[in-house]
């Protein structure tokens, strides 16, 4: 028995050593100081709470031992929500506009390398190695570009690194890249579409100039839809003043109706205001506008309805509004029953005091999660409380 106990303790100890990335639990100033003292770079996972790829990285990549072994020994690691606390200022300082963004910063607070998006294990370790190599850092790549580098793979890689945070440079890089391309492939088109966020971006000129090539891969009606969305994003951005947190309704309605119907324009503005109100934690405005938008929700998809219902569960306390959210969640389940929307329904029933239905749907959610190998820990906690 003693030998078994010793073996068990050794096994548990081995498991304890197998860990993923260890993130610091302190403020950014203290993290920079530690990095400077240890002569390391800071790795920052710049995320947002609503970001799907961010959650997948937390679930699939950050816990890996290979990833943890490298990052923990080479960097001081920080995980910061860019929409809360000091993250808001850091997002402005380091121009974080897409999530997740991964920053590598020296002890003086200077950014030396970055990338973004969901990244698989080997690539996630490789770009960390690139961050440590002065010849492969973003600053070095920019210098190489300025000296006239024309290698297509080099240009594609550089464009991918800067496309969301430096549209001017991305435009120059892709302009040089596309000058060498007689035809565009699927990856080229995807890169151009994902990076073109505004009609004022240099990338938009390429998007227009390459239309004939793009519609060989993308149906022309989808090209037109992308074009409309780019114009819409531009008008929306110009219509909202982030300093005063106010909307210029007249400007938006006038400009957007150059390519949208009056009804489309008004509905989009209302939805944009609702989304902004939720982001600004102006819950009463969010609640009012969302209820107006979804009086008739028969055409809404299952995921959209589940997202609405969950937002109401997390933020709204008016019983009548929560009962409306229950109806959204029920319709979501009706259209596509899954763990996410059954869990939402269980939580909503619990919040309005219907313990019987809360228990029934929590049991259903746990059952669905287990059948798909999903984590149902939170739902099981709810079930125990009922």
Instruction: Report residue 134 as tokens.
Output: 């002065």
Is residue 358 a contact partner of residue 349, using CB atoms and an 8 Å limit?
yes
| Total Cβ atoms within 10 A of residue 248 | 13
Say which residues have a Cβ less than 8 Å from residue 12's Cβ, sequence separation at least 6.
none
Taking Cα atoms as reference points, which of 152, 163, 67, 77 lies closest to residue 115?
Answer: 163
User: Looking at 21, 31, 46, 51, which residue is catalytic?
Assistant: 51
- Backbone φ and ψ of 224, nearest 5°: -65, -40
Q: How far apart are CA 154 and CA 243, in angstroms?
A: 39
Please name the helix (run of DSSP H) or strand (run of DSSP E) that holds residue 230, with its range, or none.
helix 220-239
| 51 tagged catalytic | yes
CB-CB neighbours of 184 under 10 Å: 19
What's the token pair of residue 321? 């509004």
- Evaluate whether 199 touches 167 at the Cβ level (below 8 Å): no
Take residue 41 and report the two structure tokens written for it: 């770079």
Asked if residues 218 and 211 have their Cβ atoms less than 8 Å apart, the reply is no
Residues counted in the chain:
386
Q: Does residue 101 contact residue 95 with C-beta atoms inside 8 Å?
A: no
Nearest one of 191, 199, 135, 198 to 162, comparing CA atoms? 191
**Contact call for residues 346 and 362 (beta carbons, < 8 A):** yes
Residue from 35, 46, 54, 329 carrying the catalytic annotation: 54
Q: Using DSSP, state whether 13 is helix, strand or coil.
A: helix
Residues acting as catalytic residues:
51, 54
């Amino acid at each position: 028995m003693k030998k078994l106990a010793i073996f068990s303790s050794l096994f548990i100890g081995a498991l304890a050593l197998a860990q993923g990335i260890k993130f610091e639990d302190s403020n950014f100033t203290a993290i920079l100081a530690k990095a400077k003292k240890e002569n390391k770079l800071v790795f920052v996972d710049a995320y947002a709470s609503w970001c799907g790829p961010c959650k997948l990285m937390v679930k699939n990549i950050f816990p890996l031992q290979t990833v943890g072994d490298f990052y923990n020994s080479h960097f001081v690691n920080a995980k910061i929500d860019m929409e809360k606390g000091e993250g808001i200022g850091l997002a402005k300082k380091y121009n974080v506009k897409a999530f997740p963004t991964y920053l590598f910063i020296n002890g003086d607070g200077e950014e030396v390398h970055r990338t973004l998006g969901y990244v698989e294990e080997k690539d996630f370790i490789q770009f960390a190695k690139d961050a440590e190599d002065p010849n492969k850092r973003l600053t070095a790549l920019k210098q190489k570009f300025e000296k006239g580098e024309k290698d297509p793979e080099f240009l594609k890689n550089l464009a991918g690194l800067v496309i969301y945070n430096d549209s001017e440079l991305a435009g120059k890089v892709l302009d040089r890249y596309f000058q060498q391309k007689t035809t565009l492939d699927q990856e080229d088109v995807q890169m151009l579409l994902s990076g073109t966020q505004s009609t004022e971006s240099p990338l938009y000129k390429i998007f227009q100039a390459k239309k004939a090539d793009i519609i060989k891969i993308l149906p022309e009606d989808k090209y037109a839809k992308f074009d409309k969305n780019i114009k819409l994003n531009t008008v929306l951005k110009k219509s909202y003043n982030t300093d005063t947190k106010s909307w210029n309704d007249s400007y938006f309605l006038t400009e957007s109706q150059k390519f949208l119907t009056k009804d489309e324009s008004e509905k989009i503005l209302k939805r944009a205001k609702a989304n902004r109100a939720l982001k600004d934690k102006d819950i009463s405005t969010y609640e009012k506008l969302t209820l107006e938008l979804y009086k008739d929700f028969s055409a809404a998809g299952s995921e959209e309805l589940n997202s609405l219902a969950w937002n109401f569960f997390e933020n709204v306390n008016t019983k009548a509004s929560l009962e409306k959210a229950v109806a959204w969640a029920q319709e979501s389940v009706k259209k596509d029953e899954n763990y996410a929307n059954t869990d939402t329904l269980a939580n909503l029933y619990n919040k309005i005091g219907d313990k019987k239905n809360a228990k029934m749907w929590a049991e259903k959610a746990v059952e669905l999660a287990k059948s798909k190998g999903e984590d149902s820990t939170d739902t099981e906690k709810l079930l125990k409380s009922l």
